[in-house]
Amino acid sequence: MTKNYNLYSMGNALLDFEIEATEDFLKEMEVEKGIMTLVDEPRQNLLTSKVNGHIHSRTCGGSAANTTIAFSQLGGSSYYSCKVGDDESGKYYLDALKENGVDCKIEYNKGVSGKCLVFVTPDADRTMNTFLGASATYGTSQLNEEALKSSSNLYVEGYLVTNPDACIAVEDSMKIAFSQNIPISITFSDPFIVGAFKEQFKKWLVKPVDLIFCNEEEAYSFTESGTDISIEEVGQKLLKYSNRFAITRGEKGAYLFDGTSEFNIETTQVKPVDSNGAGDLFAGAFLWGINNELSFEKSGILATRLASLLVTKYGARLEKNEVLKLKKEILK
């Protein structure tokens, strides 16, 4: 079958609002630092009204969307399965996807589009308070079987694990992918999500997928490993659920396993400003690399270099010209 897309991805469609905030503000507003917390719309509106820092412009976001756009910026063809509301935000979101070269053939749904407040503290950590809006009802009706079957890879955002209907959509998509021999990649998305929904993740991973993306904290949490266990031992535990993996480690780079060999990728040492989106960008660049016959090691180098550049700026995305410049430099 002719493949129309290099990547088919599934995730929550969220408009991201990046906010420079102090730790005192988070404490005052009883916001738990460093994780993603689901909130209702009144709570999100209250937080917005109380912000004492700078609010950056809204962007078309959500974890898988960031990954998919990065993949597209590097030259890949992609399809994004998501759900937005029939409001101005939803129209903005879908237009932004198309402007970034991402295909998305869905109708507007009743209700409001999802939004995420991303609080960035002076230590460059990001804390997210998310109102899912229309994404809360994401389900099998958003599954485009034709697009999936004509894709070379399936990518699943871990945040979908919080929604029972989305879980069914993920499981149906994975069944199709397995039947069509389409490689499946999953990202764990967030340390809290991994801890709270570990059993659902394991249900998704009863049959090992091709590739797991996670950060170091998520890897330790999912495998229930103590701090006395090495990252290499944690990786061995992940192989029960995936044939290959990529574990990001912040300033320590990334630890990769390609099914045969392991690689420790060093990262460029920078002064971080904002860590939001770094893991998403890493996944998008890495998937683009292996989809274009780069080695795991070379894909890891490309991904870590782009992520290192991203954390020096506010926002979850690089400009396309920045991505292509660094791509040319690394692949020359």
Please write the tens of the pLDDT for every residue from 185-196: 999 999 999 999
Tens-digit pLDDT profile for residues 222-263:
999 998 999 999 999 999 999 999 999 999 999 999 999 999
Distance of alpha carbon 93 from alpha carbon 14, whole angstroms: 8
Every domain of the chain and the residues it spans: 7-331
Half-sphere exposure of residue 117, counting CA atoms within 13 Å on the CB side?
28
Residue 173, Cβ neighbours under 10 Å: how many? 23
Distance of alpha carbon 282 from alpha carbon 301, whole angstroms: 10
Query: In Å, what is the CA distance from 147 to each residue of 3, 36, 84, 152?
Result: 9, 30, 19, 10
Please tell me the predicted confidence (pLDDT) of residue 107.
Answer: 67
Tens-digit pLDDT profile for residues 250-303:
999 999 999 999 999 998 889 888 888 999 999 999 999 999 999 999 999 999
> Where residue 105 falls among pLDDT bands split at 50, 70, 90?
confident
Which one, of 9, 7, 11, lies nearest residue 163 by Cα? 11
Average pLDDT over residues 320-330: 95
- Statement: residue 106 has pLDDT above 90: no
Which one, of 242, 215, 218, lies nearest residue 307 by Cα? 215
Q: What is the pTM of this model?
A: 0.94
Please tell me the predicted confidence (pLDDT) of residue 273.
Answer: 87
Tens-digit pLDDT profile for residues 1-45:
678 999 999 999 999 998 888 999 999 999 999 989 999 999 999
Helix axes 278-291, 63-73, angle to 10 degrees: 40
Q: Which fold has domain 7-331?
A: UDP-N-acetylmuramoyl-L-alanine:D-glutamate ligase (3.40.1190)
Residue 322, Cβ neighbours under 10 Å: how many? 15
Distance of alpha carbon 326 from alpha carbon 305, whole angstroms: 8
- Statement: residue 206 has pLDDT above 90: yes
Residue type, 12: N
